[in-house]
A and B are shown apart, each in its own frame.
Chain A
């Protein structure tokens, strides 16, 4: 009997199965966009280095240099849309005009994206040029990457892009946030319109209850109480709250209730007005006053009690349902054509109006604090060592040139957008409206625009946040009117907060701070002068807040923000 033969057949079968599995699963080599010139021609040419100052002029096609490969990692403008396809006209143009093979990899938003960058950094596998994403502090990320020796200074590259420096890198204060030991370690891009949020109130509810616009914190409380208790929507149910919001996971009051503390002069975690003895805002007696008031609001149940649990999604489901009378919201999330109709459909007679800074509590109230920066982009050390720096500069400069700006920000002229006689971007008169640059299906072709392309020029802002008339109530809406109102209020500048390096026990410190803040605010812990003083002492004793304040002062002194 040939049992041996059978054995071998069986083993062979299993081996085959394994080979098949591996073979079936191993992907085909990633499709790299094919170079336009024949491979043979490219191979015969010596690998010419790209001249740093080479103008983005059309290349003669008969003597092409070998294209430089640039891998770019950046977040997407619309995460739900895919990355541009391999045959995208943008890649083609960049290859023809700049002699670059660009490969754009989308990194996920939030923690996932940061983990991806961190992991790549740990394996020394960072791409040539990438967005240094961070969920807490982008400067900290740049410091870490620099400490690891993984990124290269970009001072020399800045000189290679005179036009982009004017449109994108024109704010020395924000550029300084990516400076380490006098060297520019990353580019700081343009933020997505600063100071864009504000307080809004339901004007229709005020009118129904015969109340006037509040101007002080006391009046605001009276209005919030009436909104909660007097059935402002007239539906016969006790289902409304004066103030809505949520905890955004940062420090203490977070961004949504910062206006409340701003009325007491302490909108931020840090007490920026106290330059002589700079420290945490909780040290300021006004913070205690604000907290006492905030607790009163909570105990009177005029704030949606879910605020400590719900997230932004839930918040943005609740206000269009008419649950809140007052809230802190982003102008576009409130009033843009993509967002406002949700509210308008439910309440055609509803109307939100902006509220200015609340007066009366302290002499110098603030609307809120602002410290947001645009995204940070860094060049990896590996890419710099391979001489790719000038190529990256060339790409960035081209992105700020009219050709690159319109192509990557809006698409192809005549197909995706048109320019009117004032030079403003419009979609009127396009032969195929589904090809308009702001149509969802076109989003994949302008994925880089929020990160690297837009510079907030007036024409661009008009195109991005157009006025419109609502479908249901036929009301004219102007998102930019809200923006103009919000951004011209008195804001506290906390940009320098980005310079403060996180303490090594940040997780504990932040938890201790937030836990106590919410216990005081929600009334689960008695709030008196004594318990508050005990809390401030415990901050130092238990989680070393004083050590952090000390190092924060040093960070700011080193940067020349505070005097020594």
Chain B
């Protein structure tokens, strides 16, 4: 059960919504009263919403160049419309379906593998009783987040290069044939996903840890009094306590399913593994090099948005039913 479902305020709203036969005037009056009651909240919203209007919605207005042949001298409004031409350039790419498949595979792998690992790590850190050790682990695991992918390539070559990499040296010592991990279509995806997990898991535990700290210690004490084991306490208190964050992150990740860490792929991939490594963003980047990429890049951005919107709506209604959690 959600921890908010029982609050009186929510119950009141649900009841109000359940009565559609209330006369309009009364509903308006009720709304006005509710709005007045929340006047301080609206005051708080002024600055952030102004920000959103200017810095998020004006660019979205400018994004009409996706449907236009953009001319700098004529500006956004003055440029001629060309319809879906830029979208077609993307859809007609010989590699369109492959790009989508690769992108989704990386996205899902990150979600399905990366997230549980981060949650387990967060739980382990949370449960450890050795304060110094656990802060050490916490600090050290989040450090790789700061390594840029260029440095990561250096590290990976040191490990995986067929001519001098550490792992390949071990394989050779054991009598095996060296494996070209970074240029082999059979291994490239694993390298991408695992290196991302290595780099980002520690950093993503921060959120889960903060969520775990938000759980009232009283709940644990009560469970201890009841004689629940450590494992049961994790299962019945810790996990439910971070479900809201898990659902939230999952939904948001699904919304951005067509966005994969561009930097990573750009640095790691090479021609022999294009078929398993090329993603939408790298394609846009390579296409964009060619000329004034503005409209094409914007069109692809909008396309990704549409897909994300559909996914997030579906996932949201699933989450609402299954976990009693939703974004809105």
Q: A residues within 8 Å of B by Cβ?
A: 18, 111, 114, 118, 121-124, 135-136, 140, 144, 148-150, 239, 241, 247, 304-306, 308-310, 314, 323, 502, 504-508, 510-512, 514-515, 517-519, 522, 524, 542-543
Contacts and interface: CB of A to CB of B under 8 A. Distances in A.
Contact of A306 (B163, B274, B287): B163
Contacts of B163: 239, 241, 304-306, 323
Contact of B94 (A122, A310, A542): A542
A511 B162 contact: no
Contact of A506 (B94, B278, B287): B287
Contacts of A511: 95, 271, 274, 278, 286
Interface string B41-61: 000000100000000000000
B72 A124 contact: yes
24 contacts: A118-B292, A124-B73, A136-B290, A148-B72, A149-B72, A149-B73, A150-B73, A247-B270, A305-B163, A305-B180, A306-B161, A308-B270, A309-B182, A309-B183, A504-B89, A507-B283, A508-B94, A508-B95, A510-B286, A511-B278, A515-B275, A518-B271, A524-B272, A543-B94
A397 B10 CA distance: 77
B290 A502 contact: yes
Interface in B227-277: 270-272, 274-275
B157 A247 contact: no
A135 B94 contact: no
B289 interface: yes
A123 B62 CA distance: 12
B187 to A, nearest CB: 12
Nearest to A121: B72
B70 interface: yes
A122 B292 contact: yes
A121 B70 CA distance: 11
Contacts of A518: 271-272
B218 interface: no
Centre residue among B73, B180, B274, B291 by max chain A CB count within 10 A: B291
A310 B157 contact: yes
A382 to B, nearest CB: 10
Name the prevailing secondary structure of the A interface residues: helix
Given A124-B73, A305-B162, A507-B287, A314 B157 contact: yes
Contacts of B286: 507, 510-511
Interface string B138-180: 0000000000000000000100011110000000000000001
B294 interface: yes
Contacts of B47: 18
A18 to B, nearest CB: 8
Contacts of B275: 515
A466 to B, nearest CB: 33
Contacts of A505: 89, 92-94
A305 B89 CA distance: 36
B71 interface: yes
Nearest to A516: B271
B293 interface: yes
B202 to A, nearest CB: 27
Contacts of A118: 292-294
A308 B73 contact: no
The 6 closest A-B pairs by CB, nearest first: A507-B287, A507-B286, A514-B271, A124-B72, A508-B94, A518-B271
Contacts of B289: 111, 114, 135-136, 507
Contacts of A506: 287, 290
Contact of A148 (B73, B157, B293): B73
Contacts of B292: 118, 121-122, 144, 148
Contacts of B70: 122
B163 to A, nearest CB: 6
Contact of B274 (A121, A122, A149, A515): A515
A304 B180 CA distance: 12
Nearest to B92: A505
A507 B286 CA distance: 6
Nearest to A124: B72
Given A140-B290, A543-B94, 5 more contacts: A310-B157, A323-B163, A507-B286, A511-B274, A515-B271
Interface string B272-313: 101100100001001101111110000000000000000000
A515 B164 CA distance: 25
Centre residue among B270, B275, B293, B294 by max chain A CB count within 10 A: B270
B258 to A, nearest CB: 17
Nearest to A18: B47
Centre residue among B180, B272, B274, B286 by max chain A CB count within 10 A: B272
Nearest to B43: A11
B272 A508 contact: no
Nearest to A11: B43
Contact of B183 (A239, A308, A510): A308
Contacts of B278: 511
B304 to A, nearest CB: 17
Contacts of B183: 308-309, 522
A308 B272 contact: yes
A135 B291 CA distance: 10
A122 B157 contact: no
A121 B75 CA distance: 11
A239 B291 CA distance: 43
